[in-house]
Amino acid sequence: MKRGWAALYENQTEEVILERLLARIPDTMDKREGSVIYDALAPAANELAQMYVELDTNISLVFPNADNEEYLDLAVAWSGITRKAATKAQWRGKFYNNQGVLMDVPIGSRYSIEDLNYVVLSRLGVGQFVVECETAGVIGNQFSGSLLPIDFVDGLARAELVDLLVSGEDTETGETLYDRYQDRISKPITSANKNQYVNWAREVTGVGDAKAFALWNGPGTVKVVVLDNNKRAPSAAVVQAAQNYIDPTQDGQGEGAAPIGPVVTVVGATEVAINVSARVELARDATVANVTEQLKVSIAKYLEGLAFSDTDFLVRITRIANLILDVPQVVDYFDLTINGLTGNIQVPLDSVAVLGTVDVHV
């Protein structure tokens, strides 16, 4: 079901409109289905219903809605925001001959693992190549190990994926696209201010959020700290891509998106592990394992919401306590600690709190 602005006219169906039209005709006249009046009004009701459908469409185009994927891209296009396309994972592949010695293989040769195919892109060294997944998205990040050749390669005895070089990313979700759009229109971007550095970083595939720190290393320096789409520390490849986009030369020459003058350094956020421990009283038939899994999900979601917050820099023990009590199988809790402490944990501005361990015991 459509929500928000797009739901404004969804109840204006042909049947509802026809009923209103017929209600305006005196009851002394024949309004039954098949009558002259009924047959005259039915086509008009159909056309009016179609008009309301078009009004819904126009409203979706004027008022972007994260829930309305069909028109979201068009609705935000005026702002210059476009949806990030899916990208392909790239791995380091190693190739061996019958003697277990690294050997070169042809550029463009293809291999498979599970249901995915990979193609050799470029040479890194003897027997080591950049291998790209042919399927875009995060699915290309999931598998490592032995590769099966699709094409015959003379002398090849063994091939394997060993290191993920560049993470594949799924097509940007409507929620994330809408969030970037809201940032663009609600946070003024002028003359390379902080908001503009954040916006530049978030334009890079694989960057989910960013923060800018002025004068971090003296006059004329800017540090941009980035998160990935899961609100975690990004891969080195994502950090480098953001660096190359914003300030590839780091010499103030303005070779990237940043203007002449500032030297910009892009880094990944530092992860601060949040380890939770608590003794609990469980309801009948409840298990520690089940409660632990529920807590991991809820705490991880809470921490994700804190990532790079402009207003809240604390992991609050009271919020963790509430999350414990929100688990239906928990009657009460005792001896709650976060990172061994009984108070809040302050997260540095250039860091992100992530779920560590969850120790639930009775």
Whether this prediction's pTM lies above 0.85 is answered by no
Half-sphere exposure of 322 (CA within 13 A, CB side): 6
Per-residue pLDDT for 4 more than 60? no
Work out the percent of the chain whose per-residue pLDDT is above 90.
Answer: 80
Predicted pLDDT of residue 7? 59
Arithmetic mean of pLDDT, 60-82: 84
Residue-averaged pLDDT of the chain: 92
Sign of the dihedral through C-alpha 142, 146, 152, 153? positive
Q: Is the pLDDT of residue 5 over 60?
A: no
Tens digit of each residue's pLDDT (9 = 90 or more) over 295-304:
999 999 999 9
Sheet containing 158-166, strands listed edge to edge, beginning at the edge strand earlier in sequence: 145-146, 158-166, 90-96, 128-133, 116-125, 110-113, 148-149
Q: State mean pLDDT over 226-253.
A: 94
pLDDT band at 119 (very low <50, low <70, confident <90, very high): very high
Question: Coil, helix or strand for 45?
Answer: helix
